């Protein structure tokens, strides 16, 4: 099974930049999108029909605020159960979580908050991390194996961004942010990409400014955190940095079997 995560920075814009053609060329079994910023009825009817031809099951969790945030999972395999949010109105109004339970694992597609440039949203971001970890811990204690994916809005270690020293005081690489990735790893998760490629410097996000992408100045912000027992089934994690259409690129997880 192949699962792909991608922050599309606006689904309607990404569709105009070739997302549909990319999907139709070699569709993964599940496509997890973040920052969708649209509801299905806002999509061009023809584009929506083409998506449905590839993915009969389309699960949307848009934000209450129009044109903001939102996640979706498109899949060709029906889930046993689908859930939306974390059960907290404070977070759920922003449409940041959707989860699907399959035989053998539960897939969580998450768009983690940004702290914003002035860090005014940092407490909200860290609280979201804490609340989601409680949610995941309860699922683990219930015997579920998890695939937690999405835009984490944090580069974990120095290898995960081009200029770590210059960004020590910037959101996305603050010590208090990075510590939350450590906490998830201490609570039964494996960073599957970093486990497979401990010394590879590869990025999933580039600012639109100063030709950062063409200059190789990026950050790894998009992850697959997988429950330790399930990680044994991970065949590969591929950062598809050649794919354009957003300031992020897709990341694909391949499971054996």
Give Cβ neighbours of residue 74 (< 8 Å, ≥ 6 apart).
Answer: 30, 31, 33, 51, 54, 55, 57, 58, 59
Give the total residue count for the chain: 257
Residue 227 host element (H or E): strand 222-227
Contact 246, 9 (CB under 8 A): yes
The catalytically annotated residue of 92, 127, 151, 160 is 151
* CA–CA distance, 72 with 59 (Å, rounded to integer): 5
Whole-angstrom Cα Rg for the chain:
17
Which are the contacts of 247, defined by CB distance < 8 A and separation ≥ 6?
Answer: 7, 9, 205, 206, 207, 208, 213
Is position 151 annotated as part of the catalytic site? yes
For β-strands 2-7 and 30-34, DSSP reports them as parallel
The CA dihedral of 219, 221, 222, 226, to the nearest 10 degrees, is 120
Q: Which two tokens stand for residue 86?
A: 């974390």
13's tokens: 């814009």
Determine the Cα–Cα distance for residues 34 and 127; give it in Å rounded to an integer. Answer: 19
Active-site residues, by number, are 151
């Amino acid at each position: 099974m192949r699962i792909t995560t991608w922050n599309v920075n606006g689904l309607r814009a990404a569709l105009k930049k070739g997302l549909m053609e990319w999907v139709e060329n070699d569709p993964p079994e599940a496509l997890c999108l973040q920052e969708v910023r649209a509801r299905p009825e806002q999509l061009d009817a023809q584009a929506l029909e083409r998506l449905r031809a590839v993915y009969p099951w389309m699960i949307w969790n848009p934000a209450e605020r129009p044109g903001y945030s939102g996640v979706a999972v498109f899949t060709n395999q029906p889930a046993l159960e689908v859930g939306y949010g974390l059960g907290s109105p404070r977070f759920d109004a922003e449409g940041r979580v959707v989860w699907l339970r399959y035989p053998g694992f539960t897939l969580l597609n998450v768009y983690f908050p940004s702290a914003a440039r002035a860090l005014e949203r940092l407490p909200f971001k860290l609280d979201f991390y804490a609340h989601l970890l409680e949610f995941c811990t309860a699922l683990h204690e219930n015997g579920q194996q998890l695939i937690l994916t999405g835009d984490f809005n944090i580069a974990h270690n120095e290898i995960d961004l081009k200029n770590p020293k210059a960004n020590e005081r910037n959101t996305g690489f603050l010590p208090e942010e990075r510590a939350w990735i450590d906490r998830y790893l201490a609570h039964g998760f494996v960073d599957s990409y970093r486990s497979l490629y401990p010394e590879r410097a590869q990025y999933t996000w580039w600012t639109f400014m100063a030709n950062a992408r063409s200059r190789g100045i990026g950050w790894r912000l998009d992850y697959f955190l997988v429950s330790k027992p399930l990680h044994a089934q991970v065949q590969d994690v591929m950062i598809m940095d050649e794919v354009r259409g957003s300031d992020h690129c897709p990341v694909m997880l391949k499971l054996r079997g």
